Amino acid sequence: MNTRFLSLLSGLLCITALLNAQAPSVQLKIKEKSGFLGMGGPRTIKIELSNENRQQPLTCDNVNSGPYTYFMVTPAEDWQLDQDFVKEELSKVNIYQDEKKIPIAWKGELIAGGNNSILLGFSKTFKLHLLFLFQCPTEEAMHQVEFKVPQEFWPGYSTMSELTRQAEAAIAANNFKKAIGSYEQILANENLKIFAQYDELKSKRTFCFSEYYNETAAAFQSSAASPQTDLKMRIAQMDGFKPTFKYIIDSLPRAEWNIGSLDTAVAPILDRCRITLNQTEALRDSLQHALDDQNIKWIIEGSATSKNGYRYVNMIETLASAFSSINFADTLATELKVRIPEEHQTRLAKYNDTESYDTFIRICNERWQTRLPIFPIDFLPNLKKDTISFSQPYYSMLKAVNDYYYGNYSSAKEEIVQIFRKCYDPEIIGRFDMLRVLILNREMHISSEIMKMFDEAALLEKAKDIQNAQDKYRQITLIAPNFAYGFFVLGKFHNRTGDPIRANFAFQRAYQIDTLYMSAYRESCNLYMRQSNFKEIINVLTTALAKGNDYWEINYNLGIAFLGDADPARAIQSFEHALLLNPKSYKTNIQIGLAHQNVKNYQKAREYFNNAIGLDPTKQEAVDFLTKLNELQRTGK
């Protein structure tokens, strides 16, 4: 036999011995006497921990798989198990634990010959990690032996050892959060409490939290002392630190694992973490304040005549559009929600001013939520200095919103009058007319029951219950006959449902009660315009002027009506007065130019078309009219 074969055989024998030694076993006397007339000696069996398939080596996984806990029984001496012995003697064997006996629940096939053995299965009602006894009663005595299973075969050992290995590897790599995660998987598993090291892992978890804090705090201190000037990057760093500190504060104490915030090892970590979190938040707030100041300083201090005046003008136009879009009627709002048209969003992006706009809106919301005037202190006074540079009364628009939310209603109404006087945007005028009506309703102390009826009527209308919706709207005007807004809403309802006669009656009733009701005048005129009834439009607008509404919109629309009524001379007078109220109106210059063209005063027409081009060179309308005028003069028509 060659040396190599002997070496291999020796190795195999060693491995086999190692595998066999791995399985815990005991010997149990099962019979005092044996053989004919009891002349033979006692019978002792070897009971060895095994698994369903007699698989080697044993592991916690194969030991605990299968429906039973398995033990392999072999003769302890030079004798053989047989079927009679198994049936008569081996069946007496049981497991005893916690004053309970667990009998054999299953028997495997008896293997005869050299590997003479049988596999027994016991119900998993006993605890493998606790000491138990194998018992076998005989006529003379109760024979029993203690059996203790090493922890590497306990259920969950592979999970415990693998997670522990992962945690230790993570600690070695300074990845303390990952280590915490591995330890917490162990602690969260109730079945792993059977292991002695389970409680020790709580301390290791706490150690990882401490190291995780130290690592993050050091990074914070380094960032705080950095001369880096990029405010956004430093704010992002602070925002990155805060969740870690909050995680430590929130996650380190765990009542379900008996880890309290006042524990000796835990409390100092939490104290240090809270202090550093406060420092982080204070520094972050300071940096954000500096960034905010950097972003909006030019808006607050801006000038329409500076080298970046075009950006300032665009920003003010955008802010006026945004703040006029607020739902002023929503008294329960916790945030001032604004919206702007896509064209404004495009221009903000074009000038790289979106961040400045967003910052300004956020700061205004923060001020309002703390009951301060919406706008920063110097914003409106500086804007007022530039009023003459704008084509619209943006100062009055923004001041009206500021006054309204600060409860200064009388001042807000004064600014709204200034808006009406000069503004040529019907949508903006409508928004501030609604604000004026809301202020009036509050001053009139309109009951909440009446306001609730508007919601009820709207719900009926939405449900297509038109008759009951109409009745509900009418009830409002009967209950409050001097409530102009009630008639205006009724008029809008009739307009939506195709009843222009009743709609116009309601609109006229609204502006008769509230003689400053711009939206009511406009809606009445719109209804007459559908019929090309220019004389009635003139009557409505003349009435508005007589009631003190000497505003751009009234005069401009009156000019349109006079043109429609073939009275260009009076149309020119109305347009000129509208232009006097707001010389920067593109539309007014176009219309007065057309009026002069109609009476063949081509020189005047040319003058106003050129004025319009000067106001907005990007628009094509005035250019087209001037081209046609040139053709008229050339042909002499």
Is the distance from CB of 588 to CB of 612 less than 8 angstroms? no
Q: Where are the domains of the chain?
A: 21-150, 157-291, 302-435, 436-635
CA R_g for the chain:
46
Cα–Cα distance for residue pair 26/76, rounded to 1 Å:
10
Cα–Cα distance for residue pair 30/494, rounded to 1 Å:
104
pLDDT score of 8 more than 70: no
User: For tokens 């003349």, what's the residue?
Assistant: 542
pLDDT of residue 229: 66
pLDDT score of 140 more than 90: no
pLDDT of residue 448: 86
pLDDT of residue 9: 32
pLDDT of residue 14: 35
CATH of domain 436-635: 1.25.40.10
To the question of pTM greater than 0.75 for the whole model, the response is: no
pLDDT of residue 346: 95
pLDDT score of 472 more than 60: yes
Nearest 5 degrees, angle CA 178-CA 179-CA 185? Answer: 90
- Encoded tokens for 493: 């309802």
pLDDT of residue 225: 86
Within 8 A by CB and 6+ apart from 631, the residues are none
Within 8 A by CB and 6+ apart from 82, the residues are 110, 112
pLDDT score of 437 more than 90: yes
pLDDT of residue 633: 84
User: For tokens 């005893």, what's the residue?
Assistant: 96
- Encoded tokens for 500: 């222009």
* 238-267 mean pLDDT: 95
Of all residues in the chain, the percent with pLDDT exceeding 70 is 95
pLDDT of residue 39: 65
Question: For 332-371, how does the pLDDT look when each residue is reduced to its tens digit (9 = 90+)?
Answer: 899 999 999 999 999 999 999 999 999 999 999 999 999 9
> Confidence band (pLDDT; 50, 70, 90) for 5?
very low
